[in-house]
Each structure stands twice: as structure tokens, then as C-alpha cells.
Amino acid sequence: MEDIRVDIAAQQIPEKLYLMPLLSVVIYPYSVVQLLVRRKQNIDLIEHLQSQGIDILGLLVPKDPHLPEDADPKMLHPIGVAARIINTMRVGGSLQVVLQGIARIRMIEFLQEKPHLIGRVEDIEQPHVESAQTQTLLTDALRLFNRFISTNPRYSEEIIHIVEMNRQEGPGVISDLIASYINFRIDEKQELLELVDVDSRLRKLIDLLQRELEFLKVESEVQGRAKMEMEKAQREYFLRRQMEEIKKELGEGDQVSSDVATLKSRLEKLDLPKDVLELAAKEIGRLENMPSSSADYNVIHTYVETLLDLPWRIMTEDNLDIRKAAEILDQDHHGLIHVKERVLEYLSVLKLKRDLKGPILCLIGPPGVGKTSLGQSIARALGRKFVRMSLGGVRDEAEIRGHRKTYVGAMPGRIVQGIRKGGTRNPLFMIDEIDKISAERGDPASALLEVLDPEQNHNFRDNYIEIPFDVSSVLFITTANYMDAIPAPLLDRMEVIHLPGYTMEEKEMIARKYLVAKQREAHGLKESQISFSDEAIRWIIRGYTKEAGVRNLDREIAHICRKAAKDIAEGAAGPYIIKANSLEKYLGPIKHIAEEARTEDEIGVATGLAVTPTGGELLHIEATKVRGKEGIKLTGHLGDIMQESVQAALTYVRSKSEELGISQKEFEEHILHVHFPAGAVPKDGPSAGVAIATALASLMSGLAVRKDVAMTGEISLRGHVLPVGGIKDKILAAYRAGIPIVIMPEKNKNDLYDIPKEVERKTSFIYVNHADQVLREALVGGENLELK
Ligand code: ADP
């Protein structure tokens, strides 16, 4: 088992704790326990804590084990344990929780009963107090414990090693560990917990262990006799009876038999493949012979439930009517004509080939451009279930492939979790943010590759599930914000569709046709109660959002609907007609001034274009010179990263000084200062090359740069213009700012095939291979330059 314990000595127990009554287990400090929480109240509590980001809570055992859900908190033992939530997972209607005890606590007073119990507590743990007898008592206890474990077939000898390994944690921790491993009665366990003084605890433990050993002796005598006297069948009957007796004695027979009965009846009703059926039956058999409070019991119980929950054979029938699919895509989305076409082509191939062996669709674009909702539409069109999993922040291979179930708090990987949630073997499975995957443990990208590979994925093996699950009928679609960050082997398997973002006009249409109606409905409002003027929508887009997609636009509209809904619920008459001049009332003062084109032709400033996570942006690059010994100074966002681009641009400009009418002295006697405004992103650095060269050439030659030109392109030392990424985003940015002329690398010409018609109409594109052409077009009077 791997150790996921925190250092408990370093943990501070807050004075106020949320409290959870635990009926069947006592958790001790240090030990890690996996529980299946079934009480709704407790599940609600844990989910509440998680939503608040709280991970420490108090656990108290009731004085009466049959505590009703709404019992008086005074019915709880005042001494309990503070524990940390390590992990949780939904298992059917229950919640599997992994907890680690931290310290004994005493309840001082209850501060709140509803909806969740909160109390003021104090930490009463005495970590390192030892008397003269402590070591002797500890040795006795360990001796008895070892004997008990090694003679009792119901316990694994591994426990002895675990306890041994923790010797250096001190007698307090050791006595707690022993207490947690042995199935004493719950009241005895509580008594051990209440013994804060380590010597008294060890004495009690010794008593209890002695009694257990006695009991074991009697038991084995009975068994010995039984062996001699009885036929096999009778013996089995006897042993079973005996086990029932023992379980009854320990107060856990009912739980086990009801769990087992539930699992068995589920198993009978399900249509499972033979190997799954056999495995599940075998594991259920193991459960029958275990105490319900043991750690293994919960592990196996959760495992069997997971096996039974998985849709081994359940599939939906695909609806491959392409015309219908086109209708659905159109119903759900405005615009995106090329994207929809590619999706339909993809579905047509699926229809003809009837298998999923082709490449995997990968939708790439900034947030809020409709990647997820396209996925949902495709699922709807096909009649498949939709499941979604994000890989953002995945660093460990086990998150894809699962942990072995012997690992404390083990869970299946995200693929299996998703399939379980979807409930069919062939959902449309959207894997988000595949560009955000990284490798810290193992290789998550290659695990994912295996999931996506049609040659291997009929046999996908999750470490937790152990037997292979066939994911070859799953329709995987991936999404990413940037293409560059996708691991190359994954990218090879995919067919990329770009969604660069929307123009103002498209956003306005999306808001009018979709978002307003959606938010109205989500807030229980009618069309007669709230409406938005076109001008208001335009202003929300322009003044309150800054994005390539429409996510914030959606959010701001929701915001207004929420306020209106509240007023109406409180009795306001309405109707609410949202106009541009009422936006401030709802959304506060304007947040974003749209990036603007320069208003004048200026010397030493060029308008570059960059790609950021919210789409394209203008990048006004400024250059000035001050007297001093020849040199360059870079400032502003990413100044350092731009170093090479600036050097290349400068070398080019110097090589053209004669044509530009610049004397060499100008370079020798000045420090050139280039400033980069915020907004540029590192990997986009080189694409500012032509803009830097233009700013420098303008500065040195005294020719102004035209205000109506924006540009992008990398340049070489000799002035060749090289292609760059993100062309569509960049063009949209220029268009949004009202810049009519865009200079771009000739080699990027093909990227223009699906830009919106209106953008194409209103923008002139100038394709260039060399920076000379850039200067001719961008500098005022540039057409007269005799650049060779
Ligand atoms: P992404 O997954 O790309 O981040 P989403 O799919 O979550 O974006 O889209 C955000 C919201 O914008 C959703 O409510 C979606 O329905 C809406 N939306 C995005 N693009 C369009 C579109 N072309 N037509 C209608 N609604 C859209």
C-alpha cells in the first residue's frame, strides 16, 4: 500500500468543527480508513464541506448504536476524533470516503444543529508522554497482538508488519493502530479512544487482547472437535452457524447479509459477460466471510458495486440520419458553417464505415466558442449519451488508468468513471483540455493514446477494474484551447477542427437567438417579463466582455436575469426591458474598453496581432530612441522573450538603412528602446517580427506607420517573412477593432478559407514574403521607397 497519510503532528485542529456521527466505526488518530457513507445527512455534510473547501471534521460515535437520523446531539459521546477527508467518490447512492484520523477531541458545546452539526471542540491528544511502565506495557501488548494475528486465520499477517513499521511513531500511535485493526466491539473501541492517557490505553488493550485470545482458543477447540465428529456437509453447516453467531456477537451480521443480499439480487438481474459475472460472484463470496467494519470489506464492497454499475453490455442504437443531424446542429448553433460541415462529413463516414476506426475529432478554440455544446449536439443527433471529462491538471497516469484496488482510497480512472456515469458502453465521450495534460507520474498521454487507439481499446485495462473493458464503441471527441500544446503522438491520431471565435455580429446573433432564451428559461422567466434591446446586447458584448467566445456574455445575461427574477419574485410588476442605458444598474460600470485602432499615423508605433487565451488581440509595439552608446533596451510584458525577434528585426532594418535614408550614426549614437504592451503570450513571441521591424524602420526613418494597418509574421535576419499561427484569431481581432488592412505571410493564405464572409468583405489582405513589402505597405509614403 502506498502511504497517503499527512503528517498529523503538523495539523492544527480548528476550534469550531463540523461534526459527523459515525454509527459503526471508531477511527483513531493516524489511521486511514475507507468508509461507505450511506446516511443522507452525512453525505450532504461531506458534500457541503467539499463545496466550502473544508477538509477537517469531527467524528463522534453515538451512545446508542441505533441513533435515528434526527437524534439529539447530546446522544453522542463527547470524545471523538478530528479527521481529514482525503478522498471521496460516489458509489451508487452512497459516498465512499477516505478519512485519516488526526487527533482526539472533546466536545465543549454544540454551536449549531441544523442543517449541519457544528461544535466547539478542543484537541486533547497527548502525543508523547511516556511513564516508566510504558515500554513494558507496549511490549506486552505487541506480543499479544502478534500472537492473536498469527493464530487467527481471519487476519492477514501483513498487519503485523504495518504495526512494526510504525514503531517509531510511539506507543500512543501503536496502541491506536492495534485498536483500529482488531474488531473489538464498538463500545470497546470507543473506550480505547477515550483513554487519552497512553498507559491506561495500553492496559485496556492488553485486557481486550487477552480476552480475544481466549475466545480464539475456545473456537479452535470447537473446530477441532467438529472436524473429528462430523461429516463434511454437517461441518460446513456448523461453521456457517458459528460464523453467524460470531458476527451477531460483533453486531455486524445484519449489515453483511443485507449488503450481500442486495449485491446478489443485482447480480442476478444484470446481463453480464461471463468473466465479469464470475469475478463479481467470487468477490461477493469473499464479503460474506468478512466483518463489515474491516477495511477490506469496504474496499471489496465498493469494488463489486463498481463492477455491477459498469455498462458491460448496455448500448444505445445510433441514429445515423445525416439530415436530422444537420437539423439538430443548426437548431443548437448559430453560424459555425464550416465546423458543422466537417462534423457532418465525419458522421457520414461513420455511417458508411460503421466503425470508429478513423481519426478522432479534436475541437480547438478558446473558451466559450461552443466546443462542449457542439459535442452535446452531436450526442443528441446520434442518440448517444454524453459524458465529459476534463484532463486539465491531470499529471498522474493513474488518473486515466486507475489505481490498483489495494491502494488506500483507490478509484477507477477517469475513463471508466465517465463510462459508469454515462451508463452505456457507447457514449459520446468528450475529453476536454487535452492540451493541459502533463506528466509527473507515469505517462498520462500514452495512457490516453491507448484509450483512443482502435487497435487496442477493445481491451482497455483499468488498474482498478482489473478485467478489460471494451471502449471501442465509445465515440471520443477531444477539445483543446491551443494546438501547439497537444502532445504530438496524440495530435497524430486526431482530425483537428478549429473554432477561432466570433465576430461582434455573430455574438449578437448568438445572444439574441440562443443565450437570452436559455437564460430566461433557466431563471423561470417569460418572454413577456424580460427582454433585451439589440443595443443593450451590443453594449454587453463591447463593454462587459472581452473574449473570443460567448461564455462571459452568457454569464452577464444570466446575471441580469437573476436580478430581474429576484425582483419579480419579491413582487415587482415588470416587465423588464433591458436597454443600453440600464446596463450600469445591473452590471456596474463598463469593464472593458474595446481594444482600439490607433487614431493617427504615428512614428515608431506598429500594430501587431497576437493570440491570447481569449482570442486574438491587437499589440501596439512602440519604439523610441534616446541618446547614448549603441544598444537595445526591451521593456514591457515578455520583453526578454522577444529578444531574438528584436535582434532579427534590427539587423534587417540596418541592412536597409541606405534605402530608408538612415545614417549609420543614428544607430551608433542611440539606445533603441522597444516596448511590448501586456497581452502577448510567450509562444506567440516571434510572430511579432514584422511589426517590430516596422516600428524600428519607422522610428529610424521618420516615416509614420499607417494607422489602418495591422500585421503579423515572423522575420528572418534577411527579412524573409515566415508563416505564423492563429491567423483567424488575429484577423478577427483586427476586424473587431475596425482595422481594414491586414498584412500577413503569403504562406498563411490557406488559413483563410473559412473566415466569415463579412470579415472577408471588409478587410483587405496583403500577402507578403519579404519585410520590404511590409514597409512599402505600412509606412506612410512607403510606396515611394526604393527597397531592393
Ligand atoms: P466551450 O466548450 O468552447 O468552452 P461552450 O460549449 O461551453 O464553450 O459554450 C458556452 C456557451 O455558449 C454555451 O451555452 C453554448 O451553447 C453557447 N454557444 C457557443 N457557441 C454558440 C453558437 N454558435 N450558437 C449558439 N450558442 C453558442
Q: Of 696, 729, 186, nearest to 503 (Cα)?
A: 729
Cβ–ligand 1 distance for 371 under 6 Å, the answer yes
- Give 302-312 pLDDT, tens digit per residue: 899 999 999 99
- 585 confidence band (pLDDT: 50, 70, 90): confident
- Which segments of 569-648 are extended strands (E)? 576-578, 605-612, 615-627, 631-636
Residue listed under C-alpha cell 439538430: 328
**pLDDT at residue number 682:** 53
8 A C-beta contact, residue 613 and residue 367? yes
Q: Is the pLDDT of residue 253 over 70?
A: no
- In the 8-state DSSP scheme, what is residue 318? P
**Beta-ladder partners of 101:** 29, 83
How many whole angstroms separate alpha carbon 680 and alpha carbon 694? 18
**pLDDT at residue number 162:** 83
Between the CA of residue 98 and those of 33, 35, 89, what are the distances in Å?
6, 6, 9
Give the contacts of 234 (CB within 8 A, at least 6 positions apart). none
Distance 43 CA to ligand 1 centre (A): 33
Give the contacts of 693 (CB within 8 A, at least 6 positions apart). 649, 652, 653, 715, 719, 771, 774, 775
C-alpha cell at 463: 488498474
How many whole angstroms separate alpha carbon 425 and alpha carbon 430? 14
Least confident of 120-134, 188-202, 547-561, 644-658: 120-134
Report the pLDDT averaged over residues 16-45. 88
Distance 550 CA to ligand 1 centre (A): 6
294: Cα separation from own chain's centroid? 32
Residue type, 434: I
C-alpha angle with apex 612: 609 to 616, nearest 5 degrees? 45
- Give 359-382 pLDDT, tens digit per residue: 899 999 989 999 999 999 999 999
- Give 387-433 pLDDT, tens digit per residue: 998 887 788 888 899 888 877 777 899 999 999 999 999 999 999 99
Give the contacts of 699 (CB within 8 A, at least 6 positions apart). 603, 604, 623, 624, 625, 672
**pLDDT at residue number 593:** 60
How many whole angstroms separate alpha carbon 428 and alpha carbon 474? 6
Report the pLDDT averaged over residues 585-592. 81
C-alpha cell at 446: 500514452
Cβ–ligand 1 distance for 373 under 6 Å, the answer yes
Q: Is the pLDDT of residue 10 over 90?
A: no
Cβ–ligand 1 distance for 331 under 6 Å, the answer no
C-alpha cell at 748: 498563411
C-alpha angle with apex 348: 344 to 354, nearest 5 degrees? 140
Give the contacts of 220 (CB within 8 A, at least 6 positions apart). 151
Q: Of 378, 556, 553, 557, nearest to 479 (Cα)?
A: 378
- Give 708-741 pLDDT, tens digit per residue: 999 999 999 889 999 998 888 788 889 888 899 9
Q: Is the pLDDT of residue 235 over 90?
A: no
φ/ψ of residue 766, rounded to 5: -115, 115
Between 39 and 681, whose confidence is greater?
39
Give the contacts of 185 (CB within 8 A, at least 6 positions apart). 250, 251
- 118 confidence band (pLDDT: 50, 70, 90): very high
Q: Is the pLDDT of residue 208 over 70?
A: yes
- 615 confidence band (pLDDT: 50, 70, 90): low
Report percent pLDDT > 90 for the chain: 41
Catalytic-residue membership of 204? no
Q: Is the pLDDT of residue 691 over 60?
A: yes
**pLDDT at residue number 187:** 87
Report the pLDDT averaged over residues 59-74. 76
Cβ–ligand 1 distance for 498 under 6 Å, the answer no
Between 24 and 723, whose confidence is greater?
723
Burial class of residue 9 (count of CB atoms within 10 Å of its CB; 0-12, 13-18, 19+): exposed
Distance 508 CA to ligand 1 centre (A): 13
Question: Highest-confidence range of 609-623, 630-644, 698-712, by mean pLDDT?
Answer: 698-712
SS (H, E, C) 473-485: CCEEEEEECCCCC
Report percent pLDDT > 70 for the chain: 91
How many whole angstroms separate alpha carbon 400 and alpha carbon 457? 13
Q: Is the pLDDT of residue 245 over 90?
A: no
Catalytic-residue membership of 264? no
**pLDDT at residue number 229:** 56
Q: Is the pLDDT of residue 176 over 50?
A: yes
How many whole angstroms separate alpha carbon 471 and alpha carbon 387? 13
Between 437 and 694, whose confidence is greater?
694
Nearest residue (CA) to ligand 1, atom 26: 333
Ligand 1 pocket test, pick from 479, 512, 545, 551 with the greatest ligand atom count within 8 Å of Cβ, gives: 551
Q: Is the pLDDT of residue 639 over 80?
A: no
Q: Of 616, 608, 595, nearest to 729 (Cα)?
A: 616
Q: Is the pLDDT of residue 773 over 60?
A: yes
Instruction: Kindly give the number of the ligand 1 atom that is closest to the alpha carbon of 366.
Output: 3
**pLDDT at residue number 1:** 35
**pLDDT at residue number 3:** 45
Between the CA of residue 176 and those of 25, 97, 98, 290, 735, what are the distances in Å?
13, 20, 18, 21, 69
Between the CA of residue 118 and those of 29, 35, 392, 535, 649, what are the distances in Å?
20, 21, 35, 50, 66
Cis preceding-peptide flag for 412 (omega within 30 of 0): no
- 501 confidence band (pLDDT: 50, 70, 90): confident
- 70 confidence band (pLDDT: 50, 70, 90): low
Distance 483 CA to ligand 1 centre (A): 19
Cβ–ligand 1 distance for 730 under 6 Å, the answer no
- Give 654-688 pLDDT, tens digit per residue: 999 999 999 999 999 999 999 887 655 555 667 88
Cβ–ligand 1 distance for 171 under 6 Å, the answer no
**pLDDT at residue number 594:** 55
215-221 long-range contacts (CB < 8 A, ≥24 apart) are: 216/148, 216/151, 216/152, 220/151
Across all residues in the chain, what is the average pLDDT?
86
Give the contacts of 551 (CB within 8 A, at least 6 positions apart). 367, 368
Whole-angstrom Cα Rg for the chain:
35
- Give 215-226 pLDDT, tens digit per residue: 887 777 766 665
C-alpha cell at 657: 538603412
C-alpha cell at 242: 458459528
Distance 515 CA to ligand 1 centre (A): 9
Instruction: Kindly give the number of the ligand 1 atom that is closest to the alpha carbon of 336.
Output: 23
**pLDDT at residue number 672:** 93
8 A C-beta contact, residue 362 and residue 497? yes
8 A C-beta contact, residue 60 and residue 194? no
φ/ψ of residue 588, rounded to 5: 80, -175
8 A C-beta contact, residue 387 and residue 517? no
- 33 confidence band (pLDDT: 50, 70, 90): confident
